[in-house]
Amino acid sequence: MIHPLRTAEQGGTQQAPGRWIALGVLVLAVLLVAVDATVLGLATPYLSEDLQPSGTQLLWIGDAYSFVIAGLLISMGSLGDRIGRKRLLLIGATAFGLVSILNAYALTPEMMVVARALLGVAGATLMPSTLALIRNLFHDPRERSLAIGIWSAAASAGMAVGPIVGGVLLEHFWWGSVFLINLPVMALLVIVGVKMLPESRNPSPGPWDMPSVFLSLIGMVGVVYGIKEAAAEGFAWLTLAAGVLGAAALYGFVRRQRTLPVPLVDVRLFRNRGFSGAVLANVLTILGLSGLLFFLSQYLQLVQDRRPIEAGIAELPAAAGAVVAGLVAGAAARRFSVRAVVSSGLAVIGLSLAALTTITQTTGYPLIGTTLLLVGFGAGLSFTITSDIILTAVPKEQAGAASAVSETAYELGTALGIALLGSVVTNIYQDFTGPAGTPEAAHESLAGAVVAAVHMPAEAVAALLHAARESFVDGVALAAGVGAVLLLLASAVAWFLLRGQKLTNEPVQH
């Protein structure tokens, strides 16, 4: 068989014959990570009942994966450029499967947080490699836009597959089973990937700079932790210290990249208004989407008493909207403009979140379903185009590092969405007034209140659940309002920053 990558490189802009099959393998990794993130939200009520985490621990279980992956993505993307993207992808896939077992059998909240963090380490090796290999497989700009749209749609399809598969598993098995679904997918990826994926790397990579790796990890985790804790607990010296340490580490990282002959990432790219605008849009797109999905899963189950499978099916419109948008975004951006498509996507998310400020305990599904559909569509439009812009801003030899910037924005948005919007929900929720004898655990989280109600007198149960659910819904409504303001502001900023930006119409040159 002709080696796909070799054919492309030797033939100038000739297209790799096995590129679409290879793309099918790459989206397996994207599906896996998306499924893993989605099923966590569905499993949260069951996990909470078993492990009994505090409200803060529950947020850390949701955040740990994204914090670590955001801190390591740039380093791992650069590592893939050096040792080979296929090799790193297969190593990461194997590790992801093995660490999933640790997630499934966690015995304490602390162990679960550590397991999620280790999964983030493995996940950081997967995502940059998939997008970087797309950059090297598809040289025709229209084909590449479509491939990135399929890649983006695969992440959205994971959101659809995750809740349904997770819902079926949760109705028949314990919550840890939702992590074990990673194993067969990873096994398939490794087996097929060994044969079908071409290897690619930077032919002159330079050394992998460990101080830069350390600085990027400390910087990202420190800053995000500081923001998260400040939003949740208010001012504290430890929070301030973490934020300052993170900011100092990121400053040191940027300064070091400017002096290295071959940096982990070329920070001069951020001087480009279009590149910076695309990264910012990525962060805020996913911030709105992830924060919404994380709490709507709990709302559907704990407030409206839907079964897990019903909650999973109820969230399908978000995935459907994102899949459709991912497939048409490239053509739309070429027909209209990049800034029109990205700004419109962000505005659609913002207006949809604004509609959720009217949510109550008895809100009907038409409003929720329509909101999810529009949020998914807006996210698909924005994320597909911004990923294309970021990916084509650098030479193909640095595709791993550029992919890592795009993925860092994605994971940072996920972490901040859960942290900031989650903190709003948590702060509002904890102030509810329950009946006499309400245990303190009921104020930690809505799942905690549901568990506590089992051990209370029958006459107090209804009062406790009504008060707790009412407070939780008030928090979700306020968080939706905060998210709406952020996304509408982002839409205006993207309109300005992406002025004159176009998707490239030139094939990749070798």
Per-residue pLDDT of the chain in tens (510 residues, 90 and over written 9): 333 333 333 334 455 566 787 788 788 777 777 777 667 766 777 888 788 887 777 777 877 877 787 778 778 877 887 788 888 888 988 999 889 999 889 888 889 989 988 998 888 888 777 877 787 777 777 787 788 878 777 776 666 667 677 777 877 888 888 888 788 888 888 887 787 777 776 666 667 778 888 898 888 888 877 776 776 666 678 888 888 999 999 899 888 988 888 787 778 778 777 788 888 888 887 777 777 767 787 788 888 888 777 877 887 888 788 888 888 888 888 888 888 999 999 999 999 989 989 998 888 899 999 998 998 899 888 888 888 787 776 666 666 667 777 777 776 777 677 777 777 887 888 777 777 777 777 777 777 787 777 777 777 788 888 888 888 898 889 888 888 888 898 899 889 888 877 776 544 443
How far is Cα of residue 479 from the mean position of the Cα atoms in its chain? 18
Q: How far apart are the first and last CA of the chain?
A: 22
Measured between alpha carbons, how far is residue 62 from residues 92, 221, 291 in Å? 21, 14, 11
Contact between residue 438 and residue 452 where contact means Cβ atoms under 8 Å apart? yes
Q: CA–CA separation, 185 vs 126, rounded Å?
A: 13
List CB contacts of 354: < 8 A, sequence separation 6 or more: 480, 481, 484, 488
Exposure pattern of 411-429 as b/e (b: 16+ CB <10 Å)?
A: bbbbbbbbbbbbbbbbbbb
Show the tokens assigned to 439. 């245990």
Q: CA–CA separation, 76 vs 84, rounded Å?
A: 11
Which of 131, 160, 205 is CA-nearest to residue 410?
131
Length of the chain: 510
The secondary structure of 225-251 as a DSSP string is HHHHHHHHH---HHHHHHHHHHHHHHH
The secondary structure of 294-323 as a DSSP string is HHHHHIIIIIS---HHHHHHHTHHHHHHHH
Q: CA–CA separation, 73 vs 268, rounded Å?
A: 18
List CB contacts of 224: < 8 A, sequence separation 6 or more: 63, 67, 70, 246, 412, 415, 416, 419
List phi, psi (to 5°) of 122.
-65, -40
Whether the pTM exceeds 0.85: the reply is: no
